[in-house]
């Protein structure tokens, strides 16, 4: 039997990681998120930062040898997972229908402070795997960029007893932390650029979270930061690609009784491991509202029985077999999240190693739903 239809909702537990570089605003951001979501009726759990607990107890990270640092990161990872488990378990037994869990840093953050070889050894010793820690554990990652990068006048060591980084060290730590989460399907980087004040940055944080969760914010936020824009790509220089993760993605559209509702399943695979999700998009207002939930394999197989057989599966970069609407031509679409308005050619700065043909944001001919249609739709 197919479980509760996502169109009509279900109990929701949304787990996020609030991470970033030194003096990025995590502590204040966590408190602002907690207040905002409690005011709109959510139960909120805030998971404390494990590193602060341990470092606040007398451990001096700068004094540790390489071997001691490895042991510390290993112990911290295990402690972090155990502390999170307490809050995850409390959420599971809670009577609340809508629960937000805010983790002050997450399971991939320790990877930013040791080399890759040591990290892989640590995972092996602890019987953990990176795919589970990065892909399956959290719904969204929110990276608060250090004030040292773009807001240097606000960078300070005064509000943390364990912070010792110079501006350049803070920027480097910020970069390594961001790279540690590369590959998670929902990472939002909250930058200082475009913010006239720290409050603007906090509003960007709330807006990015609400956007991913499918919560309308127009009546509560004056600063809406997350707009998705889409670009038609003709080609790109593979040699100039920055560090990236490659996944095999499959989408299946499900049958619905309401023409204003689209429901799609997604499987996302890498190195023999797969995560599953279901996304529901409602077209009942000026802007579509999306909600997304993670699924386990059993739920995924139940939902796929509702597949709309008039749709093709396809990849983010479309490869053979191509949908008929591609007319035999390769299709690559670049998606960006930016504060710039649609049609603004000055922002965002697009990769210079890509041959961008045009912006197709809002063009129904380039929507994934249209491209997947068996009925050929010619595109200009």
Answer yes or no: are the C-beta atoms of 92 and 52 closer than 8 Å. Answer: no
- CATH number for region 6-225: 3.40.50.300
CA nearest to 239, candidates 91, 81, 353, 83: 353
pLDDT digits (tens, 9 = 90+) for 345-380: 555 567 777 788 888 888 877 887 777 776 655 555
* 241/260 Cα distance (integer angstroms): 38
Instruction: Please report which helix (H) or strand (E) contains residue 227, including its range.
Output: strand 227-236
pLDDT at 356: 80
Answer yes or no: are the C-beta atoms of 79 and 50 closer than 8 Å. Answer: yes
* 142/127 Cα distance (integer angstroms): 27
Higher pLDDT, 303 or 161: 303
User: Of the ranges 173-187, 198-212, 290-304, which one carries the lowest mean pLDDT score?
Assistant: 290-304
Query: CB count, 10 Å around CB of 116?
Result: 8
> Percent of the chain having pLDDT more than 70?
78
Rounded to an integer, the average pLDDT of 329-349 is: 62
**What ranges do the domains of the chain cover?**
6-225, 229-371
pLDDT digits (tens, 9 = 90+) for 31-48: 999 989 998 889 999 999
Instruction: Please report which helix (H) or strand (E) contains residue 269, including its range.
Output: strand 261-270
pLDDT at 348: 57
pLDDT at 76: 94
70 preceded by a cis bond (ω within 30 of 0):
no
Identify the CATH class of 229-371: mainly beta
Answer yes or no: are the C-beta atoms of 121 and 159 closer than 8 Å. Answer: no
pTM of the entire structure? 0.65
Beta strands 98-104 and 12-20, pairing class: parallel
pLDDT digits (tens, 9 = 90+) for 52-82: 888 888 888 778 898 999 999 999 999 999 9
Answer yes or no: are the C-beta atoms of 205 and 102 closer than 8 Å. Answer: no
- Helical H segments across 257-330, by residue range: 297-303
pLDDT digits (tens, 9 = 90+) for 165-198: 788 888 888 999 999 998 898 899 998 887 888 8
* 40/56 Cα distance (integer angstroms): 34
First to last CA, the chain: 43
* 107/160 Cα distance (integer angstroms): 22
């Amino acid at each position: 039997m197919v479980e509760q239809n996502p169109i009509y909702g279900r109990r929701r537990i949304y787990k996020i990681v609030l991470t970033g570089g030194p003096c990025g605003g995590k502590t204040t951001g966590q408190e602002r998120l907690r207040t905002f979501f409690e005011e709109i009726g959510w139960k909120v759990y805030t998971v404390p930062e494990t590193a602060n607990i341990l470092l606040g107890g007398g451990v001096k990270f700068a004094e540790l040898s390489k071997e001691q640092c490895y042991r510390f990161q290993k112990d911290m990872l295990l402690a972090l997972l155990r502390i999170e488990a307490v809050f995850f378990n409390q959420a599971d037994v809670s009577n609340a229908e809508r629960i937000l869990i805010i983790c002050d840093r997450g399971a991939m953050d320790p990877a930013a402070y040791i080399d890759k070889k040591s990290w892989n050894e640590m995972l092996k010793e602890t019987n953990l795997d990176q795919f589970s820690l990065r892909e399956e554990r959290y719904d969204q990652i929110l990276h608060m960029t250090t004030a040292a990068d773009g807001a240097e006048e606000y960078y300070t060591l005064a509000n943390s007893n364990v912070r010792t980084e110079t501006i350049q060290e803070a920027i480097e730590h910020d970069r390594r932390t961001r790279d540690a989460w590369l590959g998670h399907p929902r990472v939002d980087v909250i930058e200082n650029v475009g913010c006239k004040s720290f409050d603007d940055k906090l509003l960007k944080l709330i807006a990015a979270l609400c956007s991913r969760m499918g919560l309308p914010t127009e009546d509560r936020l004056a600063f809406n930061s997350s707009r998705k824009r889409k670009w038609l790509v003709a080609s790109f220089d593979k040699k100039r690609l920055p560090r990236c993760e490659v996944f095999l993605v499959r989408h299946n559209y499900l049958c619905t009784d309401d023409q204003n509702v689209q429901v799609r399943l997604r499987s996302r695979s890498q190195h023999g491991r797969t995560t599953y999700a279901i996304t529901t998009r409602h077209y009942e207002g000026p802007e579509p509202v999306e909600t997304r939930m993670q699924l386990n394999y059993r739920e995924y197989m139940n939902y796929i029985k509702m597949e709309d057989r008039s749709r093709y599966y396809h990849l983010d970069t479309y490869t053979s077999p191509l949908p008929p609407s591609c007319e035999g031509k390769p299709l690559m679409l670049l998606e960006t999240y930016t504060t710039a308005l649609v049609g603004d050619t000055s922002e965002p700065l697009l990769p210079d190693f890509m041959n961008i043909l045009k912006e197709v944001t809002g063009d129904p001919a380039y929507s994934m739903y249209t491209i997947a249609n068996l009925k050929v739709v010619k595109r200009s």
